[in-house]
A and B are shown apart, each in its own frame.
Chain A
Amino acid sequence: MTEAVNGSSTARPTREKQRSLWGDVWIQFRAHRGAMVGVVVFTVIVLAVVFGPMIHTVDPTYADYRARNVSPSLDHPFGTDNLGRDMFAQVLAGGRVTLAVGFTAMAITITLGTLIGMLAGYFRRLDGVLMRMTDMFLALPQIPLLLVIMLVFRDSLRSLFGPEAGIFLLIVFVIGITTWMQTARIVRGEVLAIKEREFVLAAKSIGTREHRILLRHILPNVLSPIMVSATIGIANAIITESALSFLGLGFPPDFPTWGRLVVDGKDFMDLTPARVIWPGLAISLTVLSVNFIGDGLRDALDPRIRGR
């Protein structure tokens, strides 16, 4: 009995020692109900999009003329469009492209934005140059710029990587380089405030190198606005991609993406509502769940909220 008590009391401190930053984050994250729902929904969507086409093996671009505007049935769970293409297969195929575009573009936005924001906020010498550059990018009108970049690089990328991969790279790159500015500004503001704090001073006074200070002490403290930017960035990328498709500058027209499916289906809203409901719902759920995950991560990463 006593031994057992002793045993447990000696075990406790060792367990305490094993607690890491990310372990704490995970515990806090699990407590955030919205974030957990978000994780579940998002995982389901990703799994469906990745493995769905292996189970539902209908070709999304095959037009079955005899089965046009069909209501949902066993053969066609989401019905068909006006050319007789299976909507379920299109939503699954579209999801792959849309998610890939959304996440890759977001990654570019966040990387660029964080890098420029941290450098500008931390190094006074770079601040002026980098922020004027940010202002310049902000002043560029996005859509006309997109059109010009598309026109100039479309043919060369197409011959290098083929039509789909070429357009994918172009779209992701174009969205990434035209949306990093907000993130950079927010990060810079946060860094300006944090670098004057005592713990940074302490780190400096013991001779910590600047890149260590940036990565070890400042970055974790600005993670929460970055997370929020990231979740907004995904939604933004998905919407920009559909706007480009609408202008005829995105993917080829027979290449389904969620944005394009909504645009194509909008005229058929009365006739076959499934055409807009499913891809629309997919976009909303993805954006919403990513937002919740971001919210949970933000809370979990903030040491002042953690443990409350």
Chain B
Amino acid sequence: MKPMRSLLASAAVLALTGTGALAERGSDGQVNILYWQAVSILNPYLSGGTKETHASSVVLEPLVHYDPDGNMVPILVDEIPTVENGGVSEDLKSITWKLKEGILWSDGTPLTAEDVVFSGEYCTHPEGGCSSASFFTDVESFEALDDLTVKITFSVAKPFPYGPFVGAEVPILQKAQFKDCMGAKAPECTEQNFYPIGTGPFVVKEFKANDTIVYEANPNYRDPAKPAFQTVLFKGGGDAASAARAVLETGEFDYAWNLQVEPEILSQMAAAGKGEVMSSFGTNVERLMVNLTAVDPSLGPDLRSVYADGTNPHPFLSDPAVRRALSLAIDRDIIVEIGYGAAGKVTCNVLPAPEIYASTANDWCKTQDVAKANQLLDEAGWVRGSDGIREKDGVRLSILFQTSTNSVRQGTQALIKQMWAEIGVETELRNIEAAVFFGGDQSSPDTFQKFMSDIEMYTNNFPGTDPEQYMANWACTEIPGPNNQWLGDNVPRFCDPAYDALVQELAVTAGLDARAEIAKKLNDMLMDFGAMIPLVHRGNVSARSLTLGGVAMTSWDSEIWNIADWYRIK
């Protein structure tokens, strides 16, 4: 046994050193990446889209990335500042980053603290419309102490100061290139936004908006042996199923992203033996949003789905018994099994991860209990009419349930309709084209923020690992309505002063355990109230070719954050 093991070990060492010695920049040719949503811009500050963030992470780098476990990995710095090593001040009001020495931009000029300061000012410019602005909440100033040292000062104590420049959404831009693109001029700088100069492993060679991007290895990249690939072809467009097929069955592409396809289809494609399906769990939760305001079409635009200080309650979803019964009637195991497979887990929380934030107080929802749901409705006075649908005081439990067009979602809709029929709830289904549903167009009534239905279903998550911003989504001030151009995040129109107070408390609490305690409490308040009905903790699903090595897919950052380490398995 022992000789065998040492043999294996030496083989492994050989293999490692072998690739190390052989590896040379650009020696592995081209890697083909397929995103079925095409990329429109390569500046993540100007687009909140996941695809743009990922595509630009090949070129632009933040100070720190998150690895698959949600740990911070220093990229442009040598170490993560903490209170212990003096990088974060005692009063938690400032953080000081020290850049790695000798890092060059792809045009050959050195990266300096000025670039970092500039990037911060670029995004926090009041006229800029920066989509990553929430990463810079409470930042008072950016300061270059010397060529390689940056100090960020906050106006309040920041127990979690790793917002600015951590993660692919907030990379460092080159001041020399972007200095004329501040504020309102930012979207007009086409050349800069399409061909940003970065410190990453590749540079943009050709960019066709909403179609293809070609990258080339960065000649000035800090590690002379990387990247292993000479070029990257980043193709956009198509749909999830054909993207999966291109990697798993035909092998035309090496990597495909976001494959929300029925599990049996994926496993059948994977059986072709050309590729592998990968999943990683971040904070994605597929949930039902419960509309707590009335949406009757007869109400008119000023009142329909508008909170109006609580004067416009939903005729039956404002009854806690109904909300609880709707959740109890759902068999989440079946939904996971049919729609998600290995890419989903049953969850009863909107805040399912990281581990320390995951509450167990709501696990009653994990098992379907139709009898209990029926009993709750009976007790609340909802009696079945002649057609089996419950009603009270002339109000029928008849739900309009909308979501985006996607075959998994339509399957889930059909299942939930059937489950709700068992407790005497009638459901009408509606699906809306994803571009409209998530488009945020002010003039369309079909956006998820306007929420012109009783229940709607979609997935949401938060970037990074700290839930403070995410949990603040359900504060009263975040309720979307005509007064804020329907831009709030509090889609269920939930409003509870006690919740808002707790959100305030989270913002000033230090220490991970104490923060976790509050975050769990917030989650439990939402779940107990039933403002949302969580269904599935969704993993991100991507596929890689079996000949592509070095992939470390993460849900906490850009999936292709470590593309510099990718290589061809020969």
Contact = CB atoms under 8 A, between A and B. Distances in A.
Interface stretch (B316-324, B379-387, B406-414, B507-515): B406-414
A261 to B, nearest CB: 12
Contacts of A268: 262, 264-265
Contact of B268 (A63, A248, A271): A271
Interface in A93-150: none
A63 B430 contact: no
Nearest to B402: A248
Contacts of B429: 252-254
Nearest to B261: A267
B334 A270 contact: no
B405 interface: yes
A270 B411 CA distance: 19
Contact of A254 (B262, B265, B405, B413): B413
B446 interface: yes
Interface in B422-453: 428-433, 436, 444-446, 452
A177 interface: no
B434 to A, nearest CB: 9
B262 A163 contact: no
Interface of B is mostly: helix
A254 B417 CA distance: 9
A85 B413 CA distance: 14
A248 B432 contact: yes
Interface string B221-243: 00000000000000000000100
B29 interface: no
A254 B420 CA distance: 14
Interface of A is mostly: loop
Interface string B486-516: 0000000000000000000000000000000
B312 interface: no
A155 interface: yes
Given A159-B297, A159-B298, A254-B414, A248 B338 contact: no
A249 B435 CA distance: 13
A11 B298 CA distance: 72
A117 B42 CA distance: 53
B262 A82 contact: yes
A158 B453 CA distance: 13
B303 to A, nearest CB: 14
Interface in A61-97: 61-63, 65, 68-69, 82-83, 85
Contacts of A85: 414
B412 to A, nearest CB: 9
B410 A63 contact: no
Contacts of B156: none
A70 to B, nearest CB: 12
A121 to B, nearest CB: 40
29 contacts: A61-B417, A61-B418, A62-B418, A63-B414, A63-B415, A63-B418, A65-B338, A69-B264, A85-B414, A151-B444, A155-B297, A155-B452, A163-B428, A247-B405, A247-B433, A248-B405, A248-B430, A248-B433, A252-B430, A252-B431, A253-B429, A253-B430, A254-B429, A267-B261, A267-B265, A268-B262, A268-B264, A268-B265, A271-B268
Interface of B: 241, 261-262, 264-265, 268, 297-298, 334, 338, 404-405, 407, 410-411, 413-415, 417-418, 428-433, 436, 444-446, 452
Given A159-B298, A248-B433, 11 more contacts: A62-B418, A82-B411, A83-B415, A246-B405, A252-B428, A253-B414, A253-B429, A254-B429, A268-B264, A270-B268, A271-B264
Interface of A: 61-63, 65, 68-69, 82-83, 85, 151, 155-156, 158-159, 163, 246-249, 252-254, 264, 267-268, 270-271
4 nearest CB pairs, A to B: A248-B431, A253-B410, A248-B405, A155-B297
